Amino acid sequence: MLSPQQLEANLAPVRKLIGDRDVTIVAVTKQQPVETYELCRQVNLTHIGENRAQEVRDKCSANLPNSLKLHFIAPIQTKNIKYLVGKILSFDALSEYETAVELNRRWLAIDAKLAVLLQVNCSGESHKSGLRSIHYPEVLAFARQIEALPALELQGLMAMGPTPRHNYARGDALYEHDLRRTFQTAAEFWSRLQADLGRALPRLSLGMSDDYDVALEFGSTELRLGSLLWRQTDAT
């Protein structure tokens, strides 16, 4: 496992680029040992992201530091939602109404509210999770359905950049164009939703380890960082 000094070194360029902007780093700890939670706390990474319900079940059976806030950042089978109840701060990948109904039922049962983000598939890739339509009216219609569920608090949108493959990756002109178009679409949807719902949606979750710089260009308020954080460095 990394030392706090190594993790700080990996974080340094991200924090420098963020500067004084109000941006939350969600440390993606999938497949990392539960001890990683304490490591995050030591470097003031207070938001944690998991994408497997069984990992939440197993890791949160240990002593999760009280100062940490857990996000679930992937689709989930409804039968596994029981593993999240009372353990997560936010469900950040909501795109199925069946999932929303079950989350609402479970959180009503514990008399609590759950923050949620709608995941929008703005790249239009068929293999990717998220609302299948890239057309704004359908995103708005789904948002209104979520607004009607009393235990869920819609706080914004989440989107992923295009999936790199072969020569289609950072540095390739077509990829850079598509990446910016994807994040621009998500940012526009976020702005339009706030106007149409008549209230602020404080969160726009764009950007991961390979594209957080572009996400910040388009106003992302959260970055989901995994591989960038856990790479080995020469820091001591």
Report residue 48 CA to chain centroid gap: 10
Judge contact between 90 and 72, C-beta under 8 A.
yes
For residues 191 and 202, give the distance between their C-alpha atoms in angstroms, rounded to a whole number: 10
For residues 221 and 25, give the distance between their C-alpha atoms in angstroms, rounded to a whole number: 9
Q: Give 137-164 pLDDT, tens digit per residue.
A: 999 999 999 999 999 999 999 999 999 9
Task: List strand residue ranges (DSSP E) for the chain, in order.
Answer: 24-28, 47-50, 69-72, 90-94, 114-119, 152-158, 203-205, 222-225
Task: Report yes or no on 129 lying in a domain.
Answer: yes
Report which of 83, 7, 94 is spatially closest to residue 42, judged by C-alpha positions.
Answer: 7
3-state secondary structure of 206: coil
Report which of 69, 66, 178, 161 is spatially closest to residue 115, judged by C-alpha positions.
Answer: 69
Binned at pLDDT 50, 70 and 90, residue 235 comes out as very low
Q: Which two tokens stand for residue 184?
A: 């621009």
Task: Report yes or no on 235 lying in a domain.
Answer: no
Does residue 62 have a pLDDT over 70? no
Task: Report yes or no on 135 lying in a domain.
Answer: yes
Residue with the bigger pLDDT between 87 and 130: it is: 87
* Percent of the chain whose pLDDT exceeds 90: 86
Average pLDDT in the 40-57 region? 95
What is the extent of the structural domain holding 20?
4-230
The CATH number given to whatever domain includes residue 178 is 3.20.20.10
Task: Report yes or no on 236 lying in a domain.
Answer: no
Task: State the total domains in the chain.
Answer: 1
For residues 25 and 196, give the distance between their C-alpha atoms in angstroms, rounded to a whole number: 28
For residues 140 and 192, give the distance between their C-alpha atoms in angstroms, rounded to a whole number: 9
Query: Long-range CB contacts (< 8 A, 24+ apart) of 137-146?
Result: 139/189, 139/193, 140/192, 140/193, 140/196, 142/95, 142/97, 142/118, 143/118, 143/193, 143/197, 144/197, 145/97, 145/100, 146/94, 146/100, 146/116, 146/118
